[in-house]
Amino acid sequence: MQFNKLWRMLRLGVKSLLLHKLRSSLTMLGVVFGVGAVVAMLAVGEGASRKALDEIKALGSNNIMLTSKQNADNQAAAGSRSMVKFYGLKYDDEKRIRGTFSTVEHTVPTKDLRKNAFFGERSAELRIVGTTPQWFELVVRDVVAGRVLLERDMFTASNVCVLTESGARKLLAATSVIGEPLQVGSDVYEVIGIVRNEPGGTSGARTPDSEVDAYIPINVAKERYSDLMIRRASGSFQAEQVELHRILVSVKNIDDVEDTAAGLNRMMTLFHPEGDYELFVPLAVLRAARAQANIWKWTLFSIAAISLLVGGIGIMNIMLASVTERTREIGIRRAIGAKKNQIITQFLVETVVLSASGGFIGTIVGPAIAQVITFMSGIDTIVPLYSIVLAVGISMSIGIVFGLYPAVRAANLDPIDALRHD
């Protein structure tokens, strides 16, 4: 019985709105663009935050990264005509970390090199990293072709290398080069695989291999190449000696990451009082980025919600005008026995139909606006399901809130005065 009454009121409400199609359509437009703006802005915020979070997650939430850096004394002396700079992480640091912290699962040392490489008749200066097979477990990269470094490559000190896509492009090499020889300096390496680079981060994440061209086993790098790197220019030279450029530390349990990082920093301070290292914790940055992303998304949502508010005011305005126009009709309904709550329900049904219809149309307009933003600016946009539900829910709520005052005003009209209204 209640359903039949509600259905009858719904039909009556729709019929009343259709009597003024243009006015109803224009009123609905405010809600359409309000909902569309909310969905589009949340899509922009979600896309930007997802990209930043993905960059950080690519480093591994369980990982801690130690990086060699020049201390203040070395930087101040950088203008000297001839000098050797000693700084950075050492092999002993990696062993010490592995033997000190029970929470640490893996430690992965890396050594950076710059060498001229020759592939057939082509040559290029490559940025080469000596590392262990665990690197590819902790910093996961898609394998384009072939394979990555394995334990047997370390055990046999094999002259093998894994190119990244950037390295392959430099050498104009394709997937068919697997098994081909690559000359690095005076040594020849077999190309065993090609992996994707992680693009350089825009989120503050220090992506460890965004500029790497090739990987080789670290024991091969240690045996073949000196820790001393010399640069000559204009009759002067500068040299630096660095044993390890990075140590990637993997923690067993994500809950122990920040405590381990604090302990690691204290230990490193004891053995490197000159401060020639830097510690980076992706998990801490990830949490900060999530908090920042939420602020960003809800700021955009608040701005877009103003459009919905304007749409709600438009609904209230048009319903107040409708109450004035239908005063006599209201008087007749009251005179034949209609109760106040029935009058309120009738007007609320009309406002909810207006706002809900606008909301559903807005859920089509919003993703379309997001696609236009992506096309015009190149900004990634992602339309999450919650944004659709939220926008429609708010639009219907606005219909109730802004329609309540006109509905109550209509119900409170004096029946006799309403009948006399011309």
- Encode burial over 97-115: b for 16+ CB neighbours within 10 A, e otherwise: beeebebbebbbbbbbbeb
Predicted pLDDT at 131 = 93
Interval 35-39 mean pLDDT: 84
- Alpha-carbon distance of 43 to 369, in angstroms, equals 10
Average pLDDT over residues 65-90: 69
For the chain, what are the domain ranges? 2-55+288-420, 63-252
Q: What is the pLDDT of residues 82-118, one digit of tens each?
A: 566 778 899 999 999 988 999 999 999 999 888 889 8
Beta strands at 277-280 and 63-68: parallel, antiparallel or unpaired: antiparallel
pLDDT tens per residue across span 333-356? 777 777 777 777 777 877 888 888
Query: What is residue 129's predicted lDDT score, i.e. its pLDDT?
Result: 92
- Between 157 and 202, the more confident residue is 157
Instruction: Please give the pLDDT value at position 75.
Output: 53
Least-confidence region, from 57-61, 309-313, 390-394: 57-61
356 C-beta neighbours (distance < 10 Å), count: 16
Look at residues 134, 125, 383 and name the one whose alpha carbon lies nearest to residue 246. 134
Which has the minimum average pLDDT: 74-88, 353-367, 407-421? Answer: 74-88
C-alpha to C-alpha distance for 207 and 283, rounded to whole angstroms: 14
For residues 206 and 9, which has the higher predicted lDDT (pLDDT)? 9
pLDDT exceeds 70 at position 2: no
pLDDT at 150: 93
State the SS3 of the chain.
Answer: CHHHHHHHHHHHHHHHHHCCHHHHHHHHHHHHHHHHHHHHHHHHHHHHHHHHHHHHHCCCCCEEEEEECCCHHHHHHHHCCEEEEECCECHHHHHHHHHHCCCEEEEEEEEEEEEEEEECCEEEEEEEEEECCCHHHHCCCCEEEECCCCHHHHHCCCCEEEEEHHHHHHCCCCHHHCCCEEEECCEEEEEEEEECCCCCCCCCCCCCCCCCCEEEEHHHHHHHCCCEEEEEECCEEEEEECCECEEEEEECCHHHHHHHHHHHHHHHHHHCCCCCEEEECHHHHHHHHHHHHHHHHHHHHHHHHHHHHHHHHHHHHHHHHHHHHCHHHHHHHHHCCCCHHHHHHHHHHHHHHHHHHHHHHHHHHHHHHHHHHHHHHCCCCCCCHHHHHHHHHHHHHHHHHHHHHHHHHHHCCCHHHHHHCC
Maximum distance among all alpha carbons in the chain? 107
Question: CA 368 to CA 370: how far, in whole Å?
Answer: 5
pLDDT given at position 204: 45
- State the CB neighbour count (10 A cutoff) for residue 3: 7
Neighbouring C-alpha atoms within 13 Å toward the C-beta of 19: 9
Q: How far apart are CA 261 and CA 246, in angstroms?
A: 15
Q: Which residue has the tokens 């790497």?
A: 212
pLDDT value of residue 159: 92
Q: CA 330: distance to chain centroid?
A: 54
**Is the model's pLDDT at 78 over the cut of 60?**
no
pLDDT score for 201: 46
Instruction: Check whether 60 has a pLDDT greater than 80.
Output: no
Best mean pLDDT range from 21-35, 142-156, 273-287:
142-156
Per-residue pLDDT of 102-112, as tens digits, reads 999 999 999 98
The mean per-residue pLDDT over the stretch 298-323 comes to 78
Contact (Cβ atoms closer than 8 angstroms) between residue 130 and residue 221? yes
pLDDT score of 191 more than 90: yes
**201-216, pLDDT tens digit by residue?**
444 445 555 678 899 9
Give Cβ neighbours of residue 151 (< 8 Å, ≥ 6 apart).
133
At 74 the pLDDT is 56
Percentage of residues in the chain having pLDDT higher than 90:
17
Please name the residues in contact with 278: beta carbons below 8 A apart, sequence gap of 6 or more.
66, 67, 68, 69
Q: Which of 40-44, 51-55, 244-248 has the highest mean pLDDT?
A: 244-248
Cβ atoms of 239 and 74 closer than 8 Å: no
What is the reported pTM? Answer: 0.62
213-229: per-residue pLDDT in tens?
899 999 999 888 877 66
In which band, very low, low, confident or very high, does the pLDDT at 190 lie, cut at 50, 70 and 90? very high
